[in-house]
Chains A and B, each alone.
Chain A
Amino acid sequence: IAGITQAPTSQILAAGRRMTLRCTQDMRHNAMYWYRQDLGLGLRLIHYSNTAGTTGKGEVPDGYSVSRANTDDFPLTLASAVPSQTSVYFCASSDSKAGGGYTFGSGTRLTVV
C-alpha cells in the first residue's frame, strides 16, 4: 500500500537519550516534512526537505536534526531528549504540484520522562 511508514508508533524515552524517528515513503515524492502536534497548537513544522540532499529548518527546529540521503527516507533525530519534546510526531510528503496535498504517516507518540 502506497504511503508513508513511521516507526516506532510509540516510545517512552529517558531524558538525555538519543532517539531517531524513522520515516519512509514509497510515492517518490520530492518533498518531505516533520511536524509535531501538541494540543491547542496544531501542526508545527520542525524540518523539511524539498528534495533529496537538501534540508531546511521549520518553525521549531531546536533540538532536532534531519537528513535526506535519498528520496524515500527522512529520519528525525533527537540528540538529547528533553521532556518538552513529548509530543506526537508526524512525517509527511508531497509531490510539490500546485495545490497538491500532503500525505501523512500515522505518527509516533513520544514521551520523554
Chain B
Amino acid sequence: DQQVKQNSPSLSVQEGRISILNCDYTNSMFDYFLWYKKYPAEGPTFLISISSIKDKNEDGRFTVFLNKSAKHLSLHIVPSQPGDSAVYFCAASVSNYQLIWGAGTKLIIKP
C-alpha cells in the first residue's frame, strides 16, 4: 500500500523548457511534503518543501504546487538545466513523523 506515488519512472525534457514532476498521495493526514534530488553515487539532498496550509512554495527556479483536494503535488523547474538531471523523490510526513517516500522519477535534461 503505497501512500506516496510517483507514477513516472522517468521524464525527458529539453534544456531551457519546463520540467514538471508529479506526486500523488493517499493519506489526508500528511502535513508536510518535501522534494529531494539525488545524483548517482550520492545521498539524496533536500530541495524544497511545502506545508499543507499552503498551495505554493517557490525557491528560485523551483516551485512546488500542492492540490489537497486532488491529493497531488508537483515540482516545476524553470528553466531546466543540464545539472538538473537527477532522480527526484517526493516525500510526505504527518506531524514531522517519519517521511514516507515515493519511488522516484529520473529526470533527463537533453541539450
Contacts from A to B (Cβ < 8 Å): 4, 33, 40-45, 48, 58, 90, 92, 96-107
Contacts and interface: CB of A to CB of B under 8 A. Distances in A.
Q: How large is the interface on B (under 10, 10 to 19, 20 to 34, 35 or more residues)?
A: 20 to 34
Given A42-B89, A43-B89, A106 B101 contact: no
B42 interface: yes
A48 B98 contact: yes
A33 B96 contact: no
B51 interface: yes
Contacts of A90: 43-44
Contacts of B34: 99, 101
Interface in B85-111: 89, 95-96, 98-99, 101-104
Given A99-B34, A99-B51, A106-B43, 17 more contacts: A42-B101, A42-B102, A42-B103, A42-B104, A43-B44, A44-B101, A48-B98, A92-B43, A98-B32, A99-B32, A101-B36, A101-B49, A104-B43, A104-B45, A106-B41, A106-B42, A107-B43
**B interface majority secondary structure:** loop
23 contacts: A41-B103, A42-B6, A43-B44, A44-B101, A48-B98, A58-B98, A92-B43, A97-B96, A98-B95, A98-B96, A99-B32, A99-B34, A99-B96, A101-B34, A101-B49, A102-B36, A102-B99, A104-B45, A106-B41, A106-B42, A106-B43, A107-B41, A107-B42
Given A42-B89, A90-B43, A105-B43, A100 B96 contact: yes
